[in-house]
Structure 1
Amino acid sequence: MRKKVLFLCTHNSARSQMAQGLMNVMLSENYEAFSAGTFATSINPYAIKVMNEIGIDISNQYSKNFDMYLNDEFDYIVTVCDNAKEGCPYFAGGKKQLHKGFEDPASFSGTYEEKLVKFREVRDKIKEWILEYFK
């Protein structure tokens, strides 16, 4: 039986969405990943683009508020930003809570290409951490 993982971030627009996509492709035999935000918005187009660059399509994912998962059970609740860690409610169904903060690529200002570089850096750091921790 696959373990369930919920990645939480503030807006559920980039970091948590990329983490969900990465885990569901790289470790799908052992894990099923979900994502949500404390203040859900929409998926950042830069996140979609940099994930497509590595062959992972997250364009069908959508931004969700954490409250839709409050009654679900998860093996891991993972906050990927400091704001979500502070604003994250207690998940009664969360067996283990983890925090691994990643820089918010959406807050980076620069040219189109500079923003893509930042999103790639964060994507790669999330990928590296997921493989290191969960594999």
Structure 2
Amino acid sequence: MFTELKEFLLKLQNFDDISTERKAVLQPLVDYIQQKINDNQAINLNFICTHNSRRSHLSQVWAKVASSFYEIKNLQCYSGGTEETVLFPKVVETLTNQGLHIFKIAERDNPIYAIKFDENSLPIIGFSKRYYHVFNPISKFAAIMTCSQADDGCPFIAGAEKRIPITYEDPKISDNKPEQNEIYQQRSIEIATEMMYVFSKIKS
């Protein structure tokens, strides 16, 4: 793992700031991952929000990074939306500032990014897509709903073994405002901290 990224993650290991209520929200994801490990099965997590532009990507990236940090094997993370838009550039900028190495590998209206957390590991592929896109698993996955709109608007996710709502406030509220950088950084840290907490509870 890149040194700057690892140093960033080490600062997030004080989980006392996560409330008891929030830990209860995260517990079904802990239980799902742990059961898969106990059963020696592959773990597929699909993080879903409306536009697959901000929160679902942040969640996908930090879940994969946290699983690598805690050496959880046989796990893949995906993301999708109820709509296809674009991976918002401020998300790319925020993750880069927090230690990830991100490269645009396809230039188009909906660019495709390689998101690397380690020199030798396969990159996370980031681009906006619907949650049922062919890039994503079609069965035997957990659907983690990262926004209330997608959770309310998609009462059924085909192929999902488990549906887990873990919602976050949209950093989009700060777009074109002076506090934008701070809000995106805070939301990314919040999600990273919670994903670190989840994987810290896993016994492999």
TM-score (norm 1): 0.86
**Structure 1, unaligned stretches of length 5 or more?**
none
Instruction: Give the equivalent residue in structure 2 for 1:38.
Output: 82
Q: Which residue of 1 aligns with 2:47?
A: 7
Tell me if structure 1 keeps the 8 A contact 2:66–2:195: no
**Which is greater in Rg?**
2
Aligned with 1:6: secondary structure? strand
Residue 86 of structure 1 and its aligned partner are, at CA, apart by 0.9
Give 4+ residue runs of structure 1 displaced > 4 Å after superposition. none
Q: Residue 51 of structure 1 is aligned with which of 95, 102, 108?
A: 95
Distance 2:47 2:168 in 1: 12
Please tell me whether residue 64 in structure 1 is matched to residue 129 in structure 2: yes
Match of 2:162 in 1: 96
- The change in CA–CA distance for 1:32 and 1:108 in structure 2 (over 3 A counts) is same
Query: TM-score, normalised on structure 2?
Result: 0.59
Deviation at 1:22, TM superposition (A): 1.3
Whether 1:17 aligns to 2:57 is yes
1:132 is aligned to 2:197: yes
How far 1:71 sits from its partner (Å)?
6.8
Give the Å deviation of 1:107: 2.2
| CA distance 1:17–1:93, change in 2 (3 Å) | same
Which consecutive unaligned segments of at least 5 residues does structure 2 have? Answer: 1-40, 104-112, 114-125
CA contact (8 A) 1:7 1:79 kept: yes
CA shift digits 1:39-73 (9 cap, x unpaired): 12001111111111122245511100123268712
Instruction: Identify if the C-alpha distance between structure 1 residues 73 and 57 changes in structure 2 by more than 3 Å, giving closer, same or farther.
Output: farther
Secondary structure of 2:133 counterpart:
helix
Please report the RMSD computed on the Cα atoms of aligned residues, expressed in angstroms. 2.0
* In structure 2, distance between residues paired with 1:49 and 1:71: 27
